[in-house]
């Protein structure tokens, strides 16, 4: 029996995406196909760790972020191409509303399974059944369509790959909810119904070139009273929108386009997600609802070896992810499925990493964010159906709304390894203007985190 080191890639509960940024750098440095960056973290298992024999691994993670304490325990078993994974989290502290899970036992701690799935895959086909947290898109930080910020979903994931294109599908049930049938500004609706909620996503991308890729993905969020899974929404080869158009349903659709390119030592990507696109002028002035994301990663910038520079800019319109049917809003258990910052914002972030010693890395990052008052659950600005008030108009401002909150964040992080232990220490300063959208409410917050991890692995 041999003890092996087995690195488990996972998106941490602090959602800073450092792991995926490091994974992206690893793929680029080893000159692998950039489509490995499309679906995370499952691609990691099936493209970079093809172990033979049997592997059992477990990882213990402890994370302290200001007044939130998190502990994760992860168990994995891998036999050739078969992977079984179960992971749970225990959370304690005062800031229980900021991260899932939020419901406490005896007002002391909260817990849930964050992963529990069985998967089989190789370089061509794969199938996963169970609970997982996926992020889909070109960004190693936050993607517009599926960012990985929301709680893990229970569902079915499959993929097919060949030398020309890749196809992915992810379908899940998001539970049931008690909601009004419609919600808009000034409505007098009091009746609530129990609505089922379902999520389907499919993605197709080119695979002809190793360093260049075009992708299209579509999501539908659907449900309601007495509605079950729609078999049509399990089909990866058709446009979901056609189904809705011919049946006049109120399903919520999203189209997303992305491009990835790696030239020399520079990785470039762009993503454009459309919640709704106006092909013609709308009588009530409804604008386009969108998220735009541009980013770049430079390996060893200006000849500085063992370093990396990452830059990203994101812009979201005022009403993106929102809907006049409450259960069609793009959230799960109160958390955004798309970008964590929701709607009505723009954000610029930059991160620089340099390796000081063999097992010691230093990260320096800054972020500037502007956030308007509109949220995903803000009531729709015009009545539905439109016949209720044909003269109602959408607000002319489709970007930052109301009193704009501005945030500046600077952070330093040290990561080092001692044998099988990984240790992350970070400290930062957040400076706010108009905090919580209150005029002249300016404040500063000191933020810090400690993250410990140890992996165990057996091969027999």
Q: What is the pLDDT of residue 343?
A: 97
Mean pLDDT of the chain: 85
Total domain count for the chain? 1
pLDDT beyond 80 at 429: yes
Instruction: State which residues form the domain around 227.
Output: 2-459
Local confidence band at 45 (pLDDT 50, 70, 90 cut-offs)? very low
User: Given a cut of 60, is residue 16 above it in pLDDT?
Assistant: no
SS (H, E, C) the chain: CEECCCCCCCCCCCCCCHHHHHHHHHHHHCCCCHHHHCEECHHHHHHHCCCCCEEEEEEEEEEEECCEEEEEEEEEEEECCEEEEEEEEEEEECCCCCCCCCCCECCCEEEEEEEEEEEEECCCEEEEEEEECCEECCCCCCCCCECCCCCCEEEEEEEEECCCEEEEEEEEEEEEEEEECCCECCCCCCCEEEEEEEEEEEEEEECCCCCEEEEEEEEEEEEECCCCCCHHHHCCCCCHHHHHHHHCCCCEEEEEEEEEEEECCEEEEEEEEEEECCCCCCCCCCCCEEEEEEEEEEECHHHCCCEEEEEEEEEECCCCCCCCCHHHCCEECCEECCCCCCCCEEEEEEEEEEEEECCEEEEEEEEEEEECCCCCCCCECCCCCHHHCCCCCCCCCCCCCCCCEEEEEEEEEEEEEECCEEEEEEEEEEEEECHHHCCCCCEEEEEEEEEEEEEEEEEC
Lowest mean pLDDT of 42-51, 209-218, 292-301, 412-421, name the range. 42-51
pLDDT at 49 over 70: no
Asked whether the predicted pLDDT for residue 6 surpasses 90, the reply is no
Residue 196: the pLDDT is 95
User: Residue 1 pLDDT more than 70?
Assistant: no
Mean pLDDT computed over 290-316: 94
pLDDT at residue 123, rounded to an integer:
80
Query: What is the pLDDT, as a whole number, of residue 182?
Result: 93
Per-residue pLDDT tens digits for 323-365: 999 999 999 999 999 999 999 999 999 999 999 998 999 999 9
Q: Looking at residues 21-47, what average pLDDT do you find?
A: 77
pLDDT 10s digits, 71-120? 777 777 777 788 888 888 888 775 545 678 888 887 778 888 988 999 88
Structure pTM?
A: 0.89
CATH for 194: 2.40.160.130
| pLDDT greater than 60 at residue 65 | no
């Amino acid at each position: 029996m041999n003890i092996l080191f087995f690195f488990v890639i996972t998106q941490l509960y602090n959602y800073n995406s450092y792991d995926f940024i490091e994974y992206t750098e690893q793929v680029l440095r080893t000159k692998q196909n950039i489509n490995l960056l499309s679906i995370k973290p499952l691609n990691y298992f099936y493209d970079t760790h093809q172990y033979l024999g049997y592997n059992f691994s477990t990882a213990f993670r402890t994370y302290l972020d200001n007044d939130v304490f998190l502990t994760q325990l992860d168990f994995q078993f891998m036999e050739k191409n078969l992977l079984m994974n179960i992971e749970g989290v225990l959370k304690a502290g005062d800031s229980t509303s900021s991260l899932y899970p939020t419901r406490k036992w005896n007002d002391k701690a909260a817990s849930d399974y964050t992963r529990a799935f069985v998967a089989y895959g190789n370089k061509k086909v794969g199938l996963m059944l169970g609970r997982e947290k996926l992020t889909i898109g070109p960004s190693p930080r936050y993607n517009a369509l599926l960012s990985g910020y929301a709680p893990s979903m229970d569902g079915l994931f499959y993929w097919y790959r060949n030398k020309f294109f890749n196809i992915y599908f992810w379908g899940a049930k998001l539970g049931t909810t008690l909601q009004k049938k419609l919600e808009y500004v000034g409505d007098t609706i009091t009746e609530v119904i129990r609505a089922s909620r379902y999520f389907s996503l499919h993605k197709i991308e080119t695979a002809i070139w190793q360093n260049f890729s075009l992708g299209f993905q579509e999501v539908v969020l659907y449900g309601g009273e007495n509605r079950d899974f729609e078999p049509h929404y399990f089909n990866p080869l058709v446009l979901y929108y056609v189904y809705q158009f011919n049946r006049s349903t109120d399903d919520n659709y999203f189209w997303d386009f992305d491009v990835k390119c790696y030239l020399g030592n520079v990785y470039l990507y762009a993503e454009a997600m459309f919640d709704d696109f106006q092909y013609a002028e709308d009588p009530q002035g409804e604008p386009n609802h969108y998220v735009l994301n541009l980013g770049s990663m430079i390996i060893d910038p200006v000849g500085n070896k063992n370093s990396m520079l990452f830059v990203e800019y994101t812009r979201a319109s005022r009403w993106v992810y929102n809907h006049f049917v409450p259960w069609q809003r793009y959230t799960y258990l109160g958390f955004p499925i798309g970008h964590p910052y929701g709607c009505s914002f723009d954000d610029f972030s930059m991160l620089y990493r340099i390796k000081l010693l063999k097992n010691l890395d230093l990260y320096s990052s800054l972020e500037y964010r502007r956030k308007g008052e509109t949220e995903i659950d803000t009531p729709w600005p015009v009545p539905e159906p439109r016949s209720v008030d044909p003269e109602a108009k959408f607000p002319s401002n489709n970007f930052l709304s109301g009193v704009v909150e501005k945030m500046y964040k600077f952070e330093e992080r040290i990561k080092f390894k001692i044998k099988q232990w990984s240790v992350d220490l970070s400290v930062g300063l957040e400076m706010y203007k108009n905090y919580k959208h209150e005029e002249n409410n300016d404040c500063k917050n000191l933020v810090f985190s400690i993250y410990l991890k140890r992996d165990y692995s057996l091969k027999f």
